[in-house]
Every structure is written in C-alpha cells, then in structure tokens.
Structure 1
Amino acid sequence: MSTDRTTTTTTTTTGAPRDRALTVGQVADELGVTVRTLHHYDGIGLVSPSERSAAGYRLYTEADLQRLTTVVVYRRLGFPLEEIRALLGASGAQLEGHLRRQRAAVVGRLSELHDLVDAIDAAIEKESTGMGISRQEQRELFGDRFADHEQEWSAEAQERWGETDAWKQSRDRTSSYGKEDWVAIKADMDAVNDGLAAALGSGEPATSEAAMDAAEAHRRHIERWFYDVPYAMHRGLGDLYVADERFTQTYEDVAPGLARFTRDAIHANADRHEATGA
C-alpha cells in the first residue's frame, strides 16, 4: 500500500491498484462537511468507509465517495436523512417519481426565495432613496429627472445643510412617509406651483397680493411637510431657485420665468410680513 499527501491507493492481492481511497479527514475537506457528520452517516449505516489502511484507518473508496456525494447534495437541498436512505435504495421508476416530486418542491422553494429577494431588494431601494418609496415610484410621482438625480441632490443637501436643525427636522419627518404621503405632498406642491404660475400669468407684478399669497402658500407647504421656514430662510430659498440652475429648471418646467417670479414674490411676501408683523 502506498500513501501520498492526500490519498491512499489500495491494491489487490496481485499488487494491482484498485482505486483511490481517502481518509475521513480528507473526505471532509473534499466535500465540505465535518468529520462529525461523516461519523454520524457511518453510525446510522447511510455511508460507511469500505476499506482500511494497514494502520487501521477507515478509507472511503470511489464508490463510497459517489454515494456520499449524493447524500451531501440531497442534504443541501433539504432532504431528511430517511428520505435520502429511501432514495439510495429505490428502484429506477421509484427514484424518478420521487425525484420529480422533490424537484417540484425545490422549484417551489426557489420561487419563494426569488420573491423574498425581490422584497428585500425593494426594501433596500426604498431605504437608499431616503424617501420610503422606490425609484420607480419616484419617477411616477416626480418625473425622471428627479428620480435620476435624487441621490446626488440628497447627498449634496446633506453636505451643505446636514448639521442644521431644518435638515434634521426634515429627515425626521420624511423618514416616516410612505407612498400615500408623497402622493399628498405632490398634489400639494402642484397646487402651490399652479398658484404661482397663475399669478405670473395674470400679468401682475411679484409684489401683488396674489403673488405674495402664492409665495406664502409655498412657505407653508414646506412647513407643513418638511421643516419650519422663517421668512429670512424663505428668502434664501427664493435666491437659490434663481442661483442654482437645477432648481431654476424645476420652476421653468412649470412656466417660463416662474423661477425668478417665485424668488421675487417670496421676497415681497417677507417684506410684507416684516412691515405688518402678520
């Protein structure tokens, strides 16, 4: 009998090699199971080593390995050991029928797992957007441009205002919003923008009562859904709508010239508040 680092080759009485044989430890490494598992399979008579070395170590032959590999595969598919024993001893017709039933069960489990993965992916996406809705739902509500750039804008906003009370207040509120809330927010936002666009379309200046009232509705929309907006802060937001082309485009998409008109109406409304104290 000759031995190398990983295998033992048994021989017949004529000295011709019979086949490769592995020790318990070598089989455990090769198949990715524990020695304890192999001892258990041996103990219950499911798969037992067929050979012994000169030193008395039990050895698994190629036939043993083939049977053991089948057992390992079935176990990883979730088959109970008694079912595996029946499978190994079944006739051809019995085996095929049993395997077909098991295949149907495994396919069913795979379908359930795929559904679970989809649900987890959807949860991850909603968490990553920070809005509690998926990217597709963002597209449906706010359009492709918003959905494509939301993460970029959110990261930039956090970098610029992440330490402010307004940012923390907004994150606290929006973290609990679901799709119904965002639908309501979108409807409210559209109504505000329509009011601003109507004031612009009327031909009256941004200092008119209609324009200032629309600007006040804009401020209250933000306070209702996101964070407190003192008039000085509202002035800063109005300036941003003109200074940052991304915000400008959002208003220009509603009506040409609306970004600058909104900024001017916001300032006029803040002036009115300071003058009247109302």
Structure 2
Amino acid sequence: MHIKQAAELAGVSVRTLHHYDEIGLLSPDRVTDAGYRVYSDDNLRRLQSILYYRELGFLLKDIRAILGDPAFDRLQALEDQRRQLLAKQRQLALMIETIDQSIQEERGEQTMTHEERFKGFDFSQNPYEDEAKERWGSETVEKTNAAIQGFGKEAEDRMNEIFRSLAAIRQQAPDSGEAQAVIGDWYRFLNTIGTYTPQAFAGLGEMYTADERFTQNIDQFGTGLAAFMQKAMAVYAERLQDGPECQGHPARE
C-alpha cells in the first residue's frame, strides 16, 4: 500500500513514516517511478513492532538497534512486549483506582492517607535514561541509578516528599525564597546519588518541559509542576554559578 494508506492504517502521520525512512528505521519496500513509497506486508509488520516499542517508551535509536540486530526474534519480541504491556496495564488500573478514590474524597465521600494518594505511581524504571546519558554522560547516570537502587524505598520516599512539597508551592514565583529553598532540597538530593553541576541541573529542568513524557509524569503530582520546577531550577543554577552568597537563603540539611 502507499504511504498515506499505511499511515492511516497505523494511526501515524505521513511525516512520521518519512522520518522513519530518513533515519533508517523503516524503509518502504520500493519507490515507484512517480516517487510513491510502497509498503509491503513485511514493512507493516515491522511498523507494528516499532509502534509497540514506542508505546513502551523506547527511543527510536534503540528500536532501530533492536530491530537491526541479526539475532532479533519477532515472536520473542512480541511475547516480551506483551508482558511489559500487561505490567503497564496493571499500573494504569491501580492509578485509575487511585483517581476514583481521589474523586470520592473531593466529593467528601471518603478520606485518603498520603500513601493512598500516590498509589500506582512508579518512578523506579526510568524511560528517559538514554536521553540523560546522551546529555550528561553514561557514567554519571549509571552511578546515580546504582545509588537509587541501593537506597531503595528510602530514596523513593524522599523523592516523593520533595515532589509533593514543590507541588504545594507551585503557584508561587519560582525565584521566591520558599521555592528556592525546596528546589535546593531537590538539587542536594540529586547530588547525594550522583554528580550534578549547576549547568546539568538547569539542563535537567529543561528536559522536564521539553519532553512531554517527563511533563506528564511530574505533573501527576500537580498540574504545572514540571514548568514550575524548570524555572526554579534555572534560577537556582544561575545563583549557584554566581556564588553561594547569591542564593538568598541558608542551606537546608
């Protein structure tokens, strides 16, 4: 079928298929003399695999590497994708249950504990690890991941605590004293499990708003939190580079 038909069938744009061709991820079976791309059944099977991996958060360059591996087994890949999608389904079901309970609480029909409000959130797996490695270097990210795994639930609880604190003040000015104090907690926490320069800290904040997947995950703690953190992190990083005396508040231990 022609590219427009393939795009409509898969629910993607024609531009997306052009991009996949340009990066060597999915090339059409042939191109007619008139310049029309023609996709075969094998092309469509490959496109299906690509879209499953995309749904699971894989980067395009990683999908290309997986599909290009001579040892790639489509049946095994489908079975792996099914297991991962079922795990995602279970997490989404738990989050929907939490949302339903939150709606009931807002209506005054029940109360929830702090723990119940965040049931279903899981940041233990980082779908953005490759972006972080590309930006800040694999060694730093790997050390950070190892530290988080070593801290276990304690680190996760601390992360959630900081996110909740930031969500509670996200309507304030990002350069306010309180906002800078709490974002400082986030900076110091990150540097207990890795090494973040002020520039890397500000760059990480930019990723929170540049990548919609980051934004969606962070904004689960409160709409607009990602944008607030990006601005607060930029201010904090700039003041750090100007010198500790420019921070405007004492360090919080």
User: What's the TM-score bracket when you normalise by the shorter of the two chains?
Assistant: 0.3 to 0.5
Q: TM-score, normalised by structure 2?
A: 0.45
When Rg is computed on C-alpha atoms for both structures, the one with the higher figure is 1
Q: TM-score, normalised by structure 1?
A: 0.41
Which protein is richer in strand relative to its size?
1
* Structure with more relative contact order (C-alpha pairs < 8 Å, separation 6 or more): 2
